[in-house]
């Protein structure tokens, strides 16, 4: 493999990884607070992409209106799901919450299938994302750096919210102990709602960026990214935001690099993620950053 | 909670189960009447089982566009009205088998159309074979679907032929270095890639021309790593579904691949062009028909009627769905009876049927023997290049 | 110990049940039979999941993988040599398997044993991982198994799948296996093993401190559970006559978890009932998709509506029957009699735990 090819693969790996990371953060935030594996998260990703798609195609909105609007609407849907399907079960065993999440996921996928149709739709990239950039021998379209930069900005905003604002402080307190936090006079319901909003907004952003990178959307598009992002979250130490980011990038780069170096193993690609995961968990059962409690949300 | 309430609960549940079981079987009578003709009044029931939900929903929904159009145009046979019943098989093998039994036992279908996805068809085929109800497959191309089956037929050609068509095309174009990229979790893709390889070996005497053979899996959307390994080939053969293919072409062009894309009939869908955009330009693939070349007299009116109804160009799946339904109706007409056995014999004897997707003859294994066409994407349209005889 | 009234009643019920199966097998049409068979297979899936999660507290999402192992073993062992040759037309089958053909009973047992072996392998990380980490690791194992099935063409025929598996599964096999599974797991949970498993579920550290050997008990729970999942996989393969790796996606595991929760965690009776309801409901909802007319309003059939409605129903059950249909309670003759006598005793709030203690 030449150096240029390596750079090209690295760029692809990082942009894929930043998408995994964005989606993984939603998983990790919800998990940190509710100890819930929110399997509907991948379908929120799908919703985000579809809302943006319809904003552009049906309502003729320019992308800079449609995309933020899609993120807001999807965040709203996330809140509704939390209120309707998760809050009533909060005091019950976690498997109930998990099953509820699975049912919500079924519902979103099947609704998507009926409302949007099962056939994939073409997602139009805004023109400025389609400019070819030449780095040595390697060529990269401008959306690759745009995705990475956008993801970085979103990470920065999130870290600011979690570490520097009052809501963030409440979220951190909640992840340590819901009950005690409530006793301190914090409205836990509202904070949990806020985390779902934040997580869903990031998922929607992830969905839109995903659709920009892979401009084909269908009702099941969120399943694989959702699962991979979940793996990324566990890799990083589930419940840990920095860990989720790290896990996302790691997974993206490793997936691309293994296939790039060993094309003969390409049929096993989906298994890599799990093999890495299981090996890591065996040696470090709490993930890469699992033991560092400081940033646990 | 009081134990009484629980026991009551238990009882009501068991009662409910019993009720529901009887609800799905108003005809839970002894199944000994299989000998006589299942007649439901005057209507003739044609069953359709397709994946309308689940991972293959896209294909099932495309197919149904064609079947629905055909049903609209041909709602009666032998002077009796046809009742078309669609059951969803959820892209699931177990449910495909259940769906098939439902069509046979509950809906009393005399003949059945379906299913998209060879995997679903194989599950349904076991049931229809046992019940002796003829099935016309629309697009399952895996050779195993009709293998050893007396009652399963199909309107499409099978993978070995299609693989040969594209190998021949590449050979005639004097292409020296071909890379194959296939979806290893789809039988369709795996089969075509294997038959392409075999035909290539027959044509050139060696497999040297195939410089790489890489895989991806269902749900993968990032092909950059695989493409990095095969960028230097003159052509990429990527038998797979149009969604994957469109993404693949886009990513390959973005990475600077200059060669030719070659594919298969599952590429023929408007989305290949809308998703693939300029990257799809010049792509070549084998398929069943072309409105331009007027494969048969039926092709042009079909395309016109389809475009009028759905405001889009028909996909290959839709065309095959249309043909499969019409082949069933044709068989009933020739059998001049609604008896499944008679319909089966008529189906097996189908010869030079002028379908939308070509002149169809059913051979002894139950597969359609017909011409293939090679199409090219040009100016955002599918253009006819050539016809290949079986 | 004398033969108690309840044992007699159980035996009597079993005989009546066998009689019913005999009548059903000969009288019902294939559609109904298929549904009843599927009910049995899903019951076994749910019961075994209950053993791992409901009783032992190990959140394992490996069921699809175990079922895949069982299904493939049984398929390869029961298919005839000619069928195998026809199936493996792309890549020839490994010679060792080419002519092997076993009676169904032995194939089922082999399927269970191999699945149990895989289950023990998966239990090994379970000894180190807890809770959700275990869930994702086992889910990973199950997906790795599926990817291996796709790639090992000479053994599994890859994505092309296997067809022509003899349709041996009938009501006696399927429900017979349910009865055996129920019996074995019920017996297991009633012994000291069962109490140890529940101790592990409730507090692993305390259980260990009291001398429960964690490794041994977890391993056993996984192995027993995987054995029966493998058996159910074998029944499934010989029911639909054709399998491929896509049957065993993680989606299957999710369904099993859903069924078990609906039935009630820790209630084997609940698992069986929920499995039947689940399977039958999917069929009962079918007419939703066909066109119908209410008064003057003609509603066209919307394909896919069935699954939407089904998801909503599933959600409703989960949200409103929070302990599942049966909670942790089991069916028992005593309770049945009380019900008929209309007695309201204070003591027998019989849940499965209460019964033995």
Instruction: Categorize the per-residue pLDDT at B26 as very low, low, confident or very high, splitting at 50, 70 and 90.
Output: very low
Reply yes or no on whether the pLDDT at C335 is more than 80: no
Q: What percent of chain B clears pLDDT 70, i.e. is strictly above it?
A: 89
C contacts of A39 (beta carbons < 8 Å)? 254
Q: Which domains does chain A have, with CATH numbers?
A: 3-283 (1.10.3470)
Q: Structural domain boundaries of chain B?
A: 38-157+306-370, 160-287
Cβ-based contacts under 8 A for chains B and C: 189
Residue C80 lies in a domain: yes
Q: What is the CATH number of the domain that holds C124?
A: 1.10.3470
Any chain A CB within 8 A of the CB of C312? yes
User: Is B126 in Cβ contact with C242 (below 8 Å)?
Assistant: yes
pLDDT tens profile B212-254: 999 999 888 999 899 988 878 999 999 999 999 999 999 999 8
Radius of gyration of chain B (CA): 23
Mean pLDDT of the region C156-167 = 93
The maximal CA–CA distance of chain C, rounded, in angstroms, is 72
Least confident of B89-98, B159-168, C309-318, C330-339: C330-339
pLDDT category of residue A70 using cuts at 50, 70 and 90: very high
d(CA C203, CA C213): 13
Residue B94 to residue C240, Cβ atoms within 8 A: yes
Residues of B (208-247) whose Cβ lies below 8 Å from A: 212, 214-217, 219-222, 224-226, 228-230, 242-243, 246-247
What CA–CA distances, in Å, run from B61 to A175, B58, B82, B176?
45, 5, 21, 39
The answer to whether the CB atoms of A37 and C133 lie below 8 A apart is no
Instruction: Decide if pLDDT at C353 tops 80.
Output: no
Q: pLDDT for A102-119, tens place per residue?
A: 999 999 999 999 999 999
For residue B340, what pLDDT is reported? 96
Note the pLDDT of residue C333: 83
Q: For tokens 């470090």, what's the residue?
A: A284
**Looking at the domain assignment, is residue C4 inside a domain?**
no
Angle (nearest 5°) at CA B246 between B240 and B251: 110
pLDDT single digits (tens) A37-47 = 888 999 999 99
Q: Measure the CA angle with vertex A223, ends A64 and B243; round to 5°.
A: 70
- Mean pLDDT, range C6-16, rounded to an integer: 90
Contact between A67 and A280 under an 8 Å Cβ cutoff? The reply is: no
- pLDDT of A294 over the 50 cut: no
**Is the model's pLDDT at B30 over the cut of 50?**
no
**Out of B217, B230, B269, closest to residue A270 by CB:** B217
CATH 3.30.43.10 fits domain B160-287: no
pLDDT at C2 over 80: no
pLDDT mean over B182-210: 91
Residue C167 lies in a domain: yes
What local confidence, expressed as pLDDT, does residue A107 receive? 96
How much is the pLDDT for B2?
Answer: 40
C29 three-state secondary structure: coil
- A-C C-beta contacts closer than 8 Å: 111
Residue pair C43/C263 in contact (Cβ under 8 Å)? The answer is no
* C61 occurs within a structural domain: yes
Structure tokens at C14: 């079993």
Give the whole-number percent of chain C exceeding pLDDT 70.
93
**How near does any CA of chain A get to the CA of C305, in Å?**
7
Cα–Cα distance measured from residue C199 to residue B255, given in angstroms and rounded to the nearest whole number: 58
CA distance B47 to B109: 5
CB C11 within 8 A of CB C5: no
Contact partners for chain B, using 3 or more CB pairs closer than 8 A, are A, C
Q: Which of A141, A146, A115 is nearest to A130 (CA)?
A: A141
For the segment B313-329, what is each residue's pLDDT rounded down to a tens digit? 899 999 999 999 999 99
Confidence grade of residue A225 (pLDDT, cut at 50, 70, 90): very high
Highest mean pLDDT among A35-39, C183-187, C213-217, C334-338: C183-187
Does the beta carbon of B14 lie under 8 angstroms from any beta carbon of chain C? Answer: yes
* Residue C13 domain flag: no
B313 to chain A, minimum CA–CA distance in Å? 14
Mean pLDDT of chain B: 88
Q: Does C86 touch chain B (CB under 8 A)?
A: yes
Residue scoring higher pLDDT (A131 or A202): A202
pLDDT reading at C352 higher than 70 = no
- Quote ipTM for the complex: 0.90
Q: Per-residue pLDDT for C100 more than 50? A: yes
Inter-chain residue contact C304 with A113, CB threshold 8 Å = yes
Long-range contact list for A160-164, CB < 8 A, 24+ apart? A161/A198, A162/A241, A162/A295, A162/A297, A163/A295
Q: What is the pLDDT of residue A8?
A: 85
Architecture label for domain B38-157+306-370: 3-Layer(aba) Sandwich (3.40)
- The set of chains that have 3 or more CB pairs under 8 A with A is B, C
pLDDT of residue B151: 96
Rounded CA gap, B273 and A4, in Å?
Answer: 30
- pLDDT tens-digit map of A227-261: 999 999 988 888 888 999 999 999 999 999 999 88
Residue C160, in any domain of the structure: yes
Contact C151 A286 (CB under 8 A): no
Domain that holds residue C156: 27-286+301-326
- pLDDT for the residue numbered C345: 47
Nearest residue of C to residue A290, measured between CA atoms: C133
Overall domain count for chain C: 1
């Amino acid at each position: 493999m030449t150096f240029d090819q390596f750079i090209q693969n690295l760029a692809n790996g990082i942009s894929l990884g930043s998408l995994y990371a964005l989606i993984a953060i939603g998983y990790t935030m919800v998990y940190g607070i509710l100890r819930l594996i929110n399997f509907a998260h991948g379908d929120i990703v799908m919703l985000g992409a579809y809302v943006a798609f319809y904003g552009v195609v049906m309502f003729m909105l320019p992308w800079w209106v449609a995309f933020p609007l899609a993120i807001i609407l999807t965040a709203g849907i996330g809140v509704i799901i939390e209120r309707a399907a998760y809050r009533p079960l909060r005091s019950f065993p976690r498997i109930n919450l998990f099953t509820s999440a699975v049912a919500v996921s079924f519902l979103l996928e099947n609704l998507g299938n009926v409302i949007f149709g099962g056939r994939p739709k073409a997602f139009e990239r805004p023109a400025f994302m389609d400019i070819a950039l030449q780095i040595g021998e390697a060529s990269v379209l401008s959306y690759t750096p745009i995705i990475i930069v956008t993801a970085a900005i979103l990470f920065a905003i999130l870290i600011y919210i979690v570490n520097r604002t009052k809501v963030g402080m409440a979220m951190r307190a909640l992840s340590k102990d819901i009950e005690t936090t409530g006793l301190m006079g914090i409205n836990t319901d509202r904070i949990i709602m806020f985390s779902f909003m934040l997580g869903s907004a990031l998922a929607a952003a992830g969905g839109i960026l995903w659709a920009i990178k892979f401009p084909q959307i269908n009702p099941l598009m969120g399943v694989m990214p959702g699962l991979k992002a979940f793996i990324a979250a566990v890799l990083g130490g589930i419940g840990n935001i920095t860990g989720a980011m790290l896990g996302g990038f790691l997974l993206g780069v490793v997936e691309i690099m293994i296939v790039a170096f060993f094309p003969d193993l390409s049929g096993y690609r989906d298994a890599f993620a799990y093999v890495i995961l299981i090996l890591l968990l065996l040696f470090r059962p709490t993930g890469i950053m699992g033991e560092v409690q400081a940033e646990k949300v | 909670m009081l134990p009484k309430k629980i026991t009551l609960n238990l009882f009501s549940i068991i009662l409910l189960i019993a009720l529901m079981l009887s609800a799905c079987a108003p005809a839970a009578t002894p199944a000994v009447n299989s000998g006589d003709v299942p007649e439901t009044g005057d209507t003739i029931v044609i069953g359709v089982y397709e994946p309308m939900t689940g991972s293959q929903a896209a294909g099932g929904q495309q197919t149904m566009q064609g079947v629905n159009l055909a049903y609209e145009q041909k709602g009666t046979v032998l002077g009796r009205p046809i009742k078309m019943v669609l059951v969803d098989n959820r892209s699931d093998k177990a449910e495909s088998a259940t769906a098939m039994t439902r069509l046979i036992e509950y809906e009393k279908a005399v003949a059945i159309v379906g299913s998209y996805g060879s995997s679903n068809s194989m599950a349904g085929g076991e049931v229809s074979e046992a019940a002796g109800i003829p099935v016309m497959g629309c697009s399952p191309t895996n050779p195993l679907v009709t293998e050893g089956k007396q009652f399963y037929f199909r309107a499409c050609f099978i993978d070995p032929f299609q693989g040969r068509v594209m190998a021949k095309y590449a050979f005639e174009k004097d292409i020296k270095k071909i890379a194959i990229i296939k979806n290893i979790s789809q039988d369709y893709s795996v089969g075509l890639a294997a038959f392409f390889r075999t035909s290539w070996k027959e044509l050139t005497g060696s497999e040297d021309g195939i410089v790489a053979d890489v895989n991806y899996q269902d749900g993968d959307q990032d092909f950059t790593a695989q493409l990095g390994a095969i960028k230097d080939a003159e052509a990429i053969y990527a038998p797979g579904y149009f969604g994957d293919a469109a993404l693949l072409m886009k990513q390959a062009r973005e990475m600077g691949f200059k060669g030719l894309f070659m594919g298969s009939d599952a590429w023929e869908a408007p989305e290949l062009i809308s998703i693939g955009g300029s990257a799809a330009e010049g792509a070549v693939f084998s398929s069943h028909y072309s409105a331009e070349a007027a494969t048969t007299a039926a092709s042009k009116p079909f395309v016109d009627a389809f475009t009028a109804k759905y405001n889009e160009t028909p996909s290959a799946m839709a065309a095959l769905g249309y043909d499969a339904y019409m082949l069933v109706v044709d068989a009933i007409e020739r059998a001049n009876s609604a008896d499944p056995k008679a319909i089966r014999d008529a189906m097996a004897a189908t010869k030079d049927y002028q379908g939308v997707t070509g002149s169809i003859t059913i051979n002894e294994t139950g597969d359609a023997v017909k011409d293939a066409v090679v199409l090219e994407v040009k100016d955002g349209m599918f253009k006819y290049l050539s016809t290949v005889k079986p | 110990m004398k033969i108690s009234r309840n044992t007699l009643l159980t035996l009597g019920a079993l005989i009546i049940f066998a009689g019913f199966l005999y009548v059903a097998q000969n009288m019902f049409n294939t559609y109904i039979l298929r549904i009843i068979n599927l009910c049995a297979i899903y019951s076994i899936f749910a019961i075994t999941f209950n053993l791992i999660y409901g009783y032992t507290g190990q959140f394992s999402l490996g069921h699809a993988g175990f079922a895949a192992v069982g299904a493939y073993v049984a398929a390869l062992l029961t298919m005839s040599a000619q069928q195998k040759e026809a199936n493996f037309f792309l890549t020839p089958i490994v010679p060792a398997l080419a002519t092997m053909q076993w009676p169904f009973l032995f194939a089922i047992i082999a399927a269970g044993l191999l699945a149990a072996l895989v289950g023990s392998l998966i239990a090994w990380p379970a000894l180190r991982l807890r809770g959700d980490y275990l869930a994702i690791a086992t889910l990973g194992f199950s997906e790795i198994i599926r990817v291996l099935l796709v790639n090992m063409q000479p053994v599994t025929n890859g994505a092309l799948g296997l067809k022509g598996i003899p349709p041996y599964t009938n009501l006696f096999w399927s429900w017979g296996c349910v009865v055996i599974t129920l019996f074995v797991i019920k017996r297991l949970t009633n012994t000291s093993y069962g109490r140890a498993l529940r101790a592990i579920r409730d507090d692993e550290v305390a259980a260990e401190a009291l001398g429960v050997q964690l490794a041994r008990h977890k391993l056993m729970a996984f192995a027993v559970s995987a054995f029966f999942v493998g058996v159910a996989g074998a029944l499934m393969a010989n029911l639909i006559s054709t399998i491929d790796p896509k049957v065993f996606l993680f989606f299957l595991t999710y369904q099993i978890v859903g069924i078990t929760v609906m039935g009630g965690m820790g209630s084997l009776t609940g698992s069986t009932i929920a499995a039947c309801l689940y399977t039958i409901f999917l069929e009962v909802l079918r007419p939703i998709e066909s066109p119908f007319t209410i008064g003057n309003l003609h509603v066209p059939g919307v394909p896919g509506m069935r699954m939407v409605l089904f998801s909503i129903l599933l959600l409703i059950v989960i949200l409103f029957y929070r302990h599942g249909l049966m909670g942790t309670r089991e069916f028992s003759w005593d309770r049945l009699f009380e019900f008929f006598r209309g007695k309201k005793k204070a003591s027998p709030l019989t849940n499965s735990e209460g019964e033995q203690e």
